[in-house]
A and B are shown apart, each in its own frame.
Chain A
Amino acid sequence: MSAQPIYALYIINKSGGLMYQAEFAEEARKLTMNDHLRLAGTFYGLYAITSNVTPTKGTSTGLQVLETDGFRLQSYQSPTGIVFYLTGHPGRGNYDHLLKQIYQLYADYVLKNPFYELEQPIHCQQFDAALVKLLKEDLK
């Protein structure tokens, strides 16, 4: 059984607005929609600053892995600037493969929908269902 679940997924657009948010485990922190919007904006800012603060020459991405005592966060930025970030149990290994699969699902269910406007909030039942299937049952 999964003792190391994924807690939540967030998708933010190029301006830092929240496009999608969902929880996948009971343990995930319960927050109001307002809180989610604020936190997404905060993360967007943090992502930008961590990219600037790099001591190395050349460009850096924003933070990709964040480790704390209580959870682990991994992010992925698509080539078009959309940022996906997942929070999960700290003991769980790397979830790069999950982020890639989520991006794949986004491309399939959201982008290929002719009525979907880019950068807008996502409301798509099939996308929700596919994510639940991927993230709730993924025990690796």
Chain B
Amino acid sequence: GGRRARAAGGMVCYNFYVFNREGACLHYAEWERPKPVQDGAGTLEDDHKMMFGLTFSLKNFCTALDPTGSEKANLGAPIPIGTGCHFRSFKTNTYALNYLETPTGIKLILNTSKGTGSLQEAMWVIYRDIFCEFVVKNPLYTPGAPFESPQFTARLDQFVKSL
């Protein structure tokens, strides 16, 4: 039982987060988590905060270093939603974190095993074909609010297994 996401290619998906622009976690999905939350951040809530904070800081860091950015490096100044450097992913020697921030400030994070190749396309598919289709287009859904949706979950599991 339980949700496992081992793709045919051997890549493992660990977990998945959706945050809104304020940092509230809208959705969290977990397939495997060998290191339990208690050993890491402590509680799930702290874990969400850490994830959001990490990606927020990473984005600021990248925007400051980006050679293709605008001339004046304004360290510490808030970055308007939808602007700034688009960081896509990072890898350590044990996992990869794949990131997508939409122009509206919705942040998607997918932690996987290292594998090869970029998952940017896959992140866009998750946003466009799964999140937008099954959550945003739901007339009962308030944008920016946390959600749980069986169709979203089912489609996400199915997609992630196909990677």
Residues of A in contact (CB 8 Å), total 37
Would B62 and A55 count as touching, CB distance under 8 A? Answer: no
**A64 at the A/B interface (Cβ < 8 Å)?**
yes
Residues of A within 8 A of B (CB): 7, 27-31, 35, 38-39, 42-43, 45-46, 49-58, 60-71, 73, 87
Residues of B within 8 A of A53 (CB): 40-41, 50-51, 54, 97
**Minimum Cβ distance to chain A for residue B93 (Å):** 5
Residues of B within 8 A of A (CB): 14-15, 32-35, 40-41, 50-51, 53-54, 57-58, 60-62, 64-69, 73, 75, 85-95, 97, 111, 113, 118
Would A52 and B85 count as touching, CB distance under 8 A? Answer: no
Would B67 and A62 count as touching, CB distance under 8 A? Answer: no
Would A35 and B75 count as touching, CB distance under 8 A? Answer: yes
Q: Can you give 30 A-B contacts (C-beta < 8 A)?
A: A7-B67, A28-B67, A31-B73, A39-B65, A39-B75, A42-B57, A43-B61, A46-B57, A54-B94, A55-B14, A56-B14, A57-B34, A58-B35, A58-B94, A60-B92, A60-B95, A61-B93, A61-B94, A63-B91, A65-B90, A67-B89, A67-B90, A68-B66, A68-B85, A68-B86, A68-B88, A69-B85, A69-B87, A70-B62, A71-B67
